[in-house]
Structure 1
Amino acid sequence: MNRKEIVFIIVFLFIIAILAMLPTGFQKQEYRHTEGVRAKVISVNNMGIHNSGIFKLGDQSAVIEIETGSRKGEQVQGNNMLTGRLSEDKIFQEGDTAWVLIGFDEKNNINFANMIDHYRMDKQALLIGTFAVIIIIFSGFTGVRTLLSFAFALLSIWKILIPVMLKGYNPLIVALIVGNLLTIGTLLLVAGFSKKAYAAIISAMTCSLATCFLAMSFGQLFNIHGAVMEGAESLLYAGFMNLNLTSIFQAGIYLASSGAILDLAIDISSALEEIVHNNPNVTRQELMKSGLNIGKSVVGSQTTTLLLAYMGSYITIMMVYMAQGTPLMNILNSKPISAEILHTFVGCIGLVLVSPLTALISSLMMNTDSVKKAEDLY
């Protein structure tokens, strides 16, 4: 690393720290007299549960021991309400660890303990830690850079993108700003201040803008309301009536596509840099041709990956349609499937466009006549 990259990483760490401490501004006042704690289930009472077919209704009570927070060590009665929805209901057993919301009265005594769900933070930390160790072992310091860009992306979405959208700002403009900042920050962090990074940034941002335009245009042509997104209507019921759900839906298409575009852009520019490094005498025309050939191979697999990623989340809906014998035309014309088609093919168009554009920009930026060695080897 050169001095410029070291300074950039230090600044990047500072930005991540600021984002981590930045309040979202949506902390609800009704949670002032409550506390989320981890608790161990000592015993359970299932007498209040009754079956209705495959569903369970009623409530489950349990004696729990609080393991964290201001009431650590205390044992209280916990309550687990069942609604008959398999996606939300949970059944606790003795020895389980639960995430519990406890409430206090005016005298600071516990007046309720709602068992929200099973406690999974330790398992999540184990999974994330395993990922971090593996990527550092196989990628070295580049793996550390990748983890930093990952943290930056998550914090930017949670602390900037979502709160600003909730405040009523134009979702597409907000998504464009945040998405382009993520593209620049991620590529500079992972690829350093190199020509391959600059080429990937220019091509990725250009094609991301194209996907944003396509998402807006075909979103209107498809006549799909943003309420097709899971949980979208709940925003309206929560009091955010001013939100434009359709614009949020289109912004989501852009963000989802920008990640795949970013990935393909840096793949092609890195490959072309390696060609220049190993053959400094290669001409711009040959470099351009190599980029196009690399792009043809990668685009085919990337578009299939995009299709599987999007359609995988809708596999149960497809199974329902097939189980009911729904005609294919009805399936393809339905809102959920049309939305996924829009997601998939807008992203695929972006991938197809970024391939030749990255090859062109890389061949122009990399001065093959004077290259003595690659600028960055990771």
Structure 2
Amino acid sequence: MNVLVLLAVILFILMTLIGGSKGVRSFISLFLNFGVILLTVIFMTNPNANPIILTMIACTVISCINLFYINEVNSKTTTAFLSTIITIAGLLIFINIITGMAMIQGFGEEEIEELGMFSLFIGVDFVKIGASVIIMSTIGAITDVAISITSPMREIFNHHPLISRKDLFISGLNIGKDILGSNTNTLFFAFFGGYMGLLIWFKDLSYSVGEIANSKVFSAEMITIFCAGIGIALIIPIASWINSYYLVGKRKN
């Protein structure tokens, strides 16, 4: 049996046993998200397409899959979705500016040998492509933090229906403080785990610390981590405020 198939079967069994029907939907969502990303990449190869708009559409669809398909449509997923879209929209503009200023678009000199046989005149805006890559790397973490805040906030409101909007908002912020550090570190270690070979290569090439820091490959990944961290930090107050506003407003109505 193919190793990939075997691992997929093991994952499916575990997610089904532990998560039940929600675990099955979570497993299916992996393939749905992969399909969305694949279609986005295909459309991005069209020189007339705008990668920023495509990325925003893809992030919206992925958010719907991760929130509404897995957790169904309810108040916590609705507010989490709205918070995610607001954060992604603002972050996308910011990342597009940062990508152009940092000039991390395209390929690094370490990748020139592999690209030597291909034509570089493909008519695609690599600045926007670079911004799209970064934002697509953050969407999973942002939706995860959003639902991790709105869900316990709803539980707090259900147990204390007379809680004020300010206290509920502060509770959301306190929940976010515990999430912020762990999620940021997860992104950081995911980078070093995935690029351990690159770091070893830098060592074999006798790169200095300055050369490593200024390498386009390294800089692009570090900027991705920082932008993802900014997105995680932003989603906390946004999700907390929107959810507290909705829940308390619903009680008053």
TM-score (norm 1): 0.61
1:210 to partner: Cα distance: 2.2
Q: 1:323 to 1:205 in 2, by over 3 A?
A: same
Query: Structure 1 residues 146, 346: CA separation in 2 closer, same or farther (over 3 Å shift)?
Result: same
CA distance in 2, matches of 1:190, 1:368: 26
Structure 1 residue 149: Cα displacement? 2.1
Distance 1:219 1:274, change over 3 A: same
Task: Give 3-state SS (helix, strand or coil) of 1:167's partner.
Answer: coil
SS in 2 for 1:128: helix
Mapping for residues 336-375 of structure 1, pairs under 5 Å: 336-367=217-248, 370=251
Higher helix share: 2
Are positions 1:265 and 2:133 aligned together?
Answer: no
- Alignment correspondent of 1:194: 74
Q: Distance in 1 between matches of 2:163 and 2:111?
A: 51
1:305 positional shift: 0.6
Matched to 2:200, the amino acid is M
Aligned to 1:154: 34
Q: How many Å apart are 1:230 and its aligned residue?
A: 6.5
Residue 134 (structure 2) aligns with: 253
Q: Describe the shift of the 1:177–1:361 C-alpha distance in structure 2 as closer, same or farther (beyond 3 A).
A: same
Question: Is 1:165–2:64 an aligned residue pair?
Answer: no
CA positional deviation for 1:234 = 4.9
- The CA distance in 1 between the partners of 2:57 and 2:121, in whole Å, is 22
Q: CA deviation at 1:128?
A: 0.7
Distance 1:227 1:321 in 2: 16
Letter in 2 for 1:143: G
Q: Distance in 2 between matches of 1:262 and 1:317?
A: 29
From the superposition, tell whether residues 230 and 325 of structure 1 become closer, same or farther in structure 2 (CA, over 3 Å): closer
Match of 1:139 among 13, 19, 35: 19
8 Å Cα contact 1:265/1:354 also seen in 2 = yes
Partner Cα distance (1:330, 1:247) in 2? 25
Q: Is the 8 A contact 2:107 2:217 kept in 1?
A: no
Quickly say closer, same or farther: Cα 1:213–1:311, change in 2 above 3 A: farther
Q: Is the 8 A contact 1:211 1:347 kept in 2?
A: no
Relative to structure 1, the CA distance from residue 236 to residue 155 in structure 2 (aligned partners, 3 Å threshold; closer, same or farther) is farther
Amino acid at match of 1:319: I
Indicate conservation of the 8 Å contact 1:303/1:348, yes or no: yes
Could you tell me which amino acid in structure 1 is paired with residue 107 of structure 2? Answer: A
SS for the counterpart of 2:107 is helix
Q: Which amino acid aligns with 2:167?
A: E
Looking at structure 1, the residues matched to 159 and 119 of structure 2 have their Cα atoms a distance apart, in angstroms, of: 59
Q: Which residue of 1 aligns with 2:183?
A: 302
| Alpha-carbon offset, residue 297 of structure 1 | 0.9
The 5 A counterparts of 1:51-90 are none
Identity %: 27
Deviation string 1:314-338 (CA, Å, 9 cap, x unpaired) is 2222223345543322221121111
Structure 2 matches for 1:197-346, cutoff 5 A? 197-228=77-108, 234=115, 237=118, 241-346=122-227
- Structure 1 residue 311: deviation in Å? 2.8
Shift of 1:202: 0.9
- What is the CA–CA distance in structure 2 between the aligned matches of 1:217 and 1:236, rounded to whole Å? 31
Contact 1:200 1:266 in 2 (8 A): yes
Deviations, residues 323-362 of structure 1 (Å, cap 9, x unaligned): 5543322221121111111111011100000011111111
Q: Which has the higher contact order (CA 8 A, sep 6+)?
A: 2
Q: 1:327 to 1:230 in 2, by over 3 A?
A: closer
Is 1:227–1:246's contact at 8 Å kept on the other side of the alignment? no
Count of aligned residue pairs for this structure pair: 249
Q: Tell me which residue corresponds to 1:122.
A: 2
**Given the alignment, which residue of 63, 69, 78 partners 1:183?**
63
**Structure 1 position 209, deviation (Å):** 1.6
Q: Give 5+ residue unaligned stretches, structure 2.
A: none
Of Structure 1 and Structure 2, the greater strand share is in 1
Q: 1:291 to 1:320 in 2, by over 3 A?
A: same
Displacement of 1:310 in angstroms is: 2.1
TM-score by length of 2: 0.89
Q: Larger radius of gyration, structure 1 or 2?
A: 1
**SS of residue matched to 1:243:** coil
Q: Secondary structure of the equivalent of 2:91?
A: helix
In structure 2, the CA distance between the partners of 1:287 and 1:343, relative to structure 1 (3 Å rule), is same
